[in-house]
Structure 1
Amino acid sequence: MTQIFDAENRAIFAQNYPETPHRLRHNLRDHPLLALDALAQLGESLPAASVEYNRGDLPTGVDPNSDIANGLSIGDTIRTVDICRSWAVLKNIEQVPEYRTLLLDLLGELKPIIERRTGAMLMPQGFIFVSSPDAVTPYHFDPEHNILLQLKGSKTMTQFPAGDPAYAPDETHEAYHTGGHRNLVWREELACGATDWTLEPGQAVFVPVMAPHHVKVGPDPSISLSITWRSDWSYAEADARAFNSVLRKSGLRPRAPGRYPARNKAKAFAWRVIRKLRRAG
């Protein structure tokens, strides 16, 4: 397989991982598994829980309880992406052997860098986004280390500082890590803290764990691939957030977990004990 990230781009990644957003270039172009028809077939073969597709003509901020369905099947959404004004994501593509090989080959190029910095590369996952022109992915965050590779069309990811409660309040993090939604409340005054990353085919952007962002597709249909992984640090941060929700419900005002390289071990361990007791109860 042709190397996707060359030596220069691996060096850029090494300089910035895991906390600094940065642009990369990749050589993943015209792969047959990422063609539109192949993706429609993939979407039809995945379990329902691994497919999400909605209207794409949405505002930046969306109420998690809103009805944003597009009325189509996943296959029809992808095949008519140029006209259906929708947004689709195929989750956990590693469930399919051919796509798992593709994902692990990509991450394998970066694995030595990742593991020197944040330890074992855990839970490698892949997500494919197929979007109509001008589609919007609302303001949200994700718990994984993430590189978004643009394959077809263009899109602009507007990214905000990770770990700053001005953009994602501590209470929202705590709710998410105890079963809540990842969408965030958008306010126009947040825009002053944004950094725009406009991606053309062959470009990629790194997204730190829990960095808030929203996405707007350009004037043509877009296909992009998100390659993600977890680390002991990211799991500890998530579990410390969950433990903080217990403290907050007890009337306390807990301090937010530290960003990398803070370990967050004590709170993470406490939450894991609570979780284990709840499951045993």
Structure 2
Amino acid sequence: MNQHSSTFSGSLPLDTFDETSRANFAACYPETPHKLVHRLGQHPLMQLDALATLAETLPDPSVEYNRAALPLGLNGEKAPANGMGIGETIRNIASTGSWAALKNIEQSPAYADLLMELLEEIRPTIEARTGAMLKPQGFVFVTSPDGVTPYHFDPEHNILLQIMGSKQMTMFPGGDTRFAPDETHESYHTGGPRDLFWRDDMRPHGKVWSLSPSEALYVPVMSPHFVQNGPAPSVSLSITWRSQWSFAEADARAFNSVLRNLGLKPRAPGRWPATNRAKAFAWRLVRRIRG
């Protein structure tokens, strides 16, 4: 049982993920999406006013917000600004028609404590499967009714905890070139955007995961997805981490971009438990030479 408690007012309930959820996570990690149950909904750090205050203290690169009435895929376009400040956006999220992301919330000591306490509950499973838990990070998403988070992928192992409101995530298999071409992976891992190009004919191939308060969803590394918010304002918390495998896969993708620029057609890196060590080492050497 987790023996840590939050340093913020009140304490994080012991075993935020119940025994069944932890067992399900152990059976499915790292490649199979699955739902969990959590007990974080009433935590004071996850309430709108606390999140607005956090957003106002984070550096500008750690705060992203825009209008929430978006298509499923931006397809190279930029989401339009909402014309207001981040504090107002969050405090009035029911009526601002907005989407906001607070990145690297662990920059705040209180939120860092919360993130690490949640991850400690599942650390044994993580480290037994994919080795050391690296680069733990937390992200909060605050969304107006019916808002959309367009089609994209993320490089982290991720558990998305639904705190307030409801949403549906439509997820596609990681590593499947029908949904994210190899060239897109390579571009992302050499500095390109994480947004993906959307086609309506892909939609029937995605699996829809519905999330209500107290439910969470494990999202495997680089699994393409889009999110549609329900009819009420939503707050979600992503707790994320990296592994030696995820870094090696990313570096192998980057090295493939070098090979592709030479006119070759490189084979895509293998999904877990493939190690991808040779190409990862080659990319790290190239990066060192480039300075």
Q: Structures share a fold, TM > 0.5?
A: yes
Kindly indicate whether the alpha-carbon contact (under 8 Å) linking 1:240 and 1:271 is maintained by their aligned counterparts in 2: yes
Q: Which runs of structure 1 show a deviation greater than 2 angstroms over 4 or more consecutive aligned residues?
A: 63-67
Q: Distance in 2 between matches of 1:211 and 1:7?
A: 26
5+ long unaligned stretches in structure 2: 1-11
2:90 to 78, 102, 110: 78
**Superposed, which structure 2 residues align to 1:1-281 within 5 Å?**
1-2=12-13, 3-279=15-291
Task: Please list the CA deviations of residues 149-175 of structure 1 after superposition, one character each: whole Å capped at 9, or x if unmatched.
Answer: 000000001000010000000000000
Task: Please list the CA deviations of residues 30-63 of structure 1 after superposition, one character each: whole Å capped at 9, or x if unmatched.
Answer: 1111110000000000000000001100000103
Task: Please list the CA deviations of residues 92-115 of structure 1 after superposition, one character each: whole Å capped at 9, or x if unmatched.
Answer: 000100000000000000000000
Aligned CA distance change for structure 1 residues 174 and 76 (closer, same or farther; 3 Å)? same
Q: Distance in 2 between matches of 1:86 and 1:53?
A: 7
Aligned to 2:7: none
Task: Please list the CA deviations of residues 8-33 of structure 1 after superposition, one character each: whole Å capped at 9, or x if unmatched.
Answer: 11000000000000011111121111
Kindly indicate whether the alpha-carbon contact (under 8 Å) linking 1:149 and 1:226 is maintained by their aligned counterparts in 2: yes
3-state DSSP of counterpart to 1:201 = coil
- Cα offset, 1:6, TM superposition: 1.5
3-state DSSP of counterpart to 1:149 = strand
Q: Distance in 2 between matches of 1:187 and 1:65?
A: 15
Kindly indicate whether the alpha-carbon contact (under 8 Å) linking 1:57 and 1:136 is maintained by their aligned counterparts in 2: yes
Count of residues in correspondence between the two structures: 279
3-state DSSP of counterpart to 1:211 = coil
- Cα offset, 1:67, TM superposition: 4.7
3-state DSSP of counterpart to 2:127 = helix
Kindly indicate whether the alpha-carbon contact (under 8 Å) linking 1:64 and 1:181 is maintained by their aligned counterparts in 2: no
3-state DSSP of counterpart to 1:68 = coil
Tell me the amino acid that sits aligned with residue 89 of structure 1: A
Kindly indicate whether the alpha-carbon contact (under 8 Å) linking 1:61 and 1:184 is maintained by their aligned counterparts in 2: yes
TM-score (norm 1): 0.98
Provide the identity percentage: 63
Q: CA RMSD in A?
A: 0.7
Q: Distance in 2 between matches of 1:272 and 1:117?
A: 24
Task: Please list the CA deviations of residues 211-247 of structure 1 after superposition, one character each: whole Å capped at 9, or x if unmatched.
Answer: 0000000000000000000000000000000000000
3-state DSSP of counterpart to 1:40 = helix
